Structure 1
Amino acid sequence: MIPAMPATASAARQASGTALRFGRVAVMGAFAALILFAGVWGSWGTAQHVMLAKGRESGTVRVTRCAGETCTGPFTPVSAGGRARGSVELDSSVAVRAGATYDVVLKPGTGEAVRSGPAGILLAWLPLGGALLLASVVVAGGMRLTRPAWVLGLAGAGLLTAAFVAVQ
């Protein structure tokens, strides 16, 4: 007869399996956190101007021309202390059309404008919406946490949908 396996080998196998699961969850959690951090970082560059608009020049831009990645048009201020400008640049996207007028906030010290209001806030946070969707896949597949993954995925999809609806 073959003697039974010693208890120490079984405990060692169980401990190594637990360590591997913990390592997988830790690495995937760090990766998901990095994805979310990158989404916030990518969004904050524009979102800070839209969300913290106090003291910045705000007004409207009537888009006269779009070429490449930028659209241009005259700026009409509505905030106190703002000055009219013959031409400011607005990033060209599906949300900007020539001939339309948009509420904007100017980036300090530049001639660059970003959309303001609810549509501008949602557009500014689009990179975070994509990051939420990507992080949900990492959380579901790498960490095996389906409920938090659904929450992340639905939040990302909701943000992207709201932005799409706001610019129409």
Structure 2
Amino acid sequence: MPATAATARQASVTALRFGRVATMGTLAALILFAGVWGSWGTAQHVMLTKGRERGTIRVTSCAGDTCSGPFTPVSEGARARASVDIANSVAVRKGLTYDVVVKPGTGEVVRSGPVGILYAWVPLGGALLLASVVVAGGLRSTRAAWVLAGSGIALLTAAFVTL
């Protein structure tokens, strides 16, 4: 094989490798960004509670995807409400009382405290697991993939245990 053919082959292999790394790196970053974006909608209310209405909800009824009950304030400036809504999930049961934060401008609340923080970041945990597969297979970086997978598993396990 002439030297020019070998050089051309090597250049095409290098270009394909760069294309694979760029594509899979972009895909992994996009997956992680989507996980953060999906989590931040709830996490911002749970983590940045200064100036927000904090209190408790006693769940009295559940229908469809929401449960509701009276809101009892515990922070300054919070007002009692006859009924607020909380998402009906495995973390909410009728008859129990939960610490919550009111989403500003709505009658909707989210769990607060360590449980609320972990529960809010569950979408990121799933994204970490999915990104680990992309990093391992597409980028062929097994150490980074194990770190991502371990972080995702730790986050999801912590959320499961606290609920």
Please indicate the TM-score interval, normalised by the length of the shorter structure.
Answer: over 0.9
2:87 to 87, 91, 96: 91
Matched, 1:54 2:50: yes
Matched, 1:38 2:27: no
* Identical residues among aligned pairs (%): 78
C-alpha distance in 1, partners of 2:61/2:150?
37
* SS in structure 2 at match of 1:54: coil
The corresponding residue for 1:14 is 10
1:101 to 97, 100, 104: 97
C-alpha distance in 1, partners of 2:62/2:143?
44
1:162 Cα deviation after fit: 0.3
Equivalences for residues 9-158 of structure 1 within 5 A: 9-158=5-154
1:15 Cα deviation after fit: 1.1
Q: May I ask how many residue pairs the two structures share in their alignment?
A: 163
Q: Give the ranges of 4+ consecutive aligned residues of structure 1 lying more than 6 Å apart after TM superposition.
A: none
C-alpha distance in 2, partners of 1:161/1:98?
24
* SS in structure 1 at match of 2:52: coil
* SS in structure 1 at match of 2:27: helix
C-alpha distance in 2, partners of 1:93/1:107?
17
* SS in structure 2 at match of 1:109: coil
Q: Which deviations, in whole Å up to 9, do the C-alpha atoms of 1:29-68 show, x marking residues without a partner?
A: 0000000000000000000000001000000000011111
* SS in structure 2 at match of 1:9: helix
C-alpha distance in 2, partners of 1:43/1:114?
12
AA at the equivalent of 1:63? V
User: Gapped runs of 5+ residues in structure 2?
Assistant: none
* SS in structure 2 at match of 1:40: helix
TM-score scaled by structure 2?
Answer: 0.99
User: Gapped runs of 5+ residues in structure 1?
Assistant: none
C-alpha distance in 2, partners of 1:66/1:137?
37
